[in-house]
Structure 1
Amino acid sequence: MAHPSRGASSPAGSSRRGRGSSCLLASKNSGGISSQNRVGDTDMLERILQKPKLVVVEEPKERGMRFRYECEGRSAGSILGASSTETNKTQPAIEVKTGAETRVTVTVSLVTKDLPHRPHPHCLVGKDCPNGSGICVVTLNPHSNRRHSFVNLGIQCVRRKELDVSLKKRRSQNIDPFQTGDSKGIEDMDMNAVRLCFQCELEWDDGRKDCLSPVVSNPVYDKKATTTSQLKISCLNQYRGSCHGKTEIYMLCDKVQKGKARVLFPFISF
């Protein structure tokens, strides 16, 4: 199911500006059609087709990555792309569609898995992440390259006693993509699942700056958490049994969630 925020775009007058609050607000009728000033159907279609938008062209791989603490003293790893294989590694990637911008700045942060997407206290780390910022910032020249793959982008989890401090840092960075404020605490936040949130600022030839609506990725789950990891069957002694029953079967599994496991036995006759 497509996420309602994914691949969306907005006019410059979007109220969800988040980072990049210097973007200019357009008038209410900007890009629209008034009764006094109508344009032809062809001109309107061209406007719609040329309207800039940000899309996620390669989603992150949802499972298989472990969130690491800073104190572990080693790399946080890299988020792989959903289509990544053992022989062909891919990374999450975005693309800016159409438009005639002179510069595009994309800010990536972590938000909660569930709606409303609030800033998440966990941090992004990697070569495009300013040291200690917890966010990733890249600048693109749309005339030469409209697509960017996020190589060496990792997720670093924050200790519980530092969660509030981390969220305060996000607010000081003006990172609140969906303008959720701080009305809710961290008690109901899922610390084992995050989404990447992409915020795009466009700079035009005349110096104007516009912001597109934030776009979120599919969720990324912490590999080490039993509540979000995939169930793994490590041993199964029988793959078939008599329809008359009395066949003893045992199955050993990893990452079993108490009260959330079911075993289904398909009936196939020959």
Structure 2
Amino acid sequence: MLTANWNGLRVEAAISAKGYAYHCPCCGQPVTLRKGQIKIAHFAHKPPTDCSWAKGETAEHREAKVALRDAFRRISYIADYEVEVLSIQGDRRADVLITSPDGQRQWALEIQHTPILYPAIEARTKAYIAAQVPVLWVGILSSDMKAGAKPTPGGVVIRKYTIRPWEKWAQALAFKELWYVDPSDGTLWRGEFSEHMIHVESTSWFESGGVEQSAGGYSRQSKRWRTLTLRGPYGVNQLAIGTKWRKAWSSPVFSLPQGLIASLTVV
């Protein structure tokens, strides 16, 4: 995590010094400042710990939070990372909380980097809606995804992509709008899923009676993979952040809550 408490004050790892007693804002346990030349400065729990804030955070996730905060600040928004949002549906810690320059509107960006089940992502979204802070779920354009991406007009394409449950949920919530952030520079990419087709090669053989048989020679839709096309990159200065109203909706697999959600539009 990028922030901790010191003597009751919220401090950032980037501007903190080693040798002081820092504590986790969530569980109150001691945390260690890790600061070096390669990895971004952050606080880490001392093992063993079962704090939810200590689970699953990667270097790319921390880098994405810093990059997005800085990108919005450069265009005169008020932005910060790891900000607590109080809600009657359960308090949330926004990865990045953005406030309009006039201070009248707020949005939360949740950077998804670990597996999450449908009930959990629904509950978190409901908490933001109850707090009147529209949320946008953003994926990380990881180094592995970059390695498998091929250039295409207007972006890149990743074939044989296994769509994750949170991606199915988030794109349904936002009317097929799904964004990814490149943690190296804070640019954003809009994702679009399409079916991945598998070509079945044709084969032929002769039966015992000398009759030739054949099979294959067609394409079929993959049940495992999708094709992910990413349009971009877009700087934050090329996008407008706003809101959409979504009605409640349910399927046998998951449910979507009713309320205002955040949205990005290319300008």
TM superposition score category, shorter chain reference = under 0.3
Higher RCO structure, 1 or 2 (CA under 8 Å, sep 6+)? 1
TM-score by length of 1: 0.25
More strand by share: 2
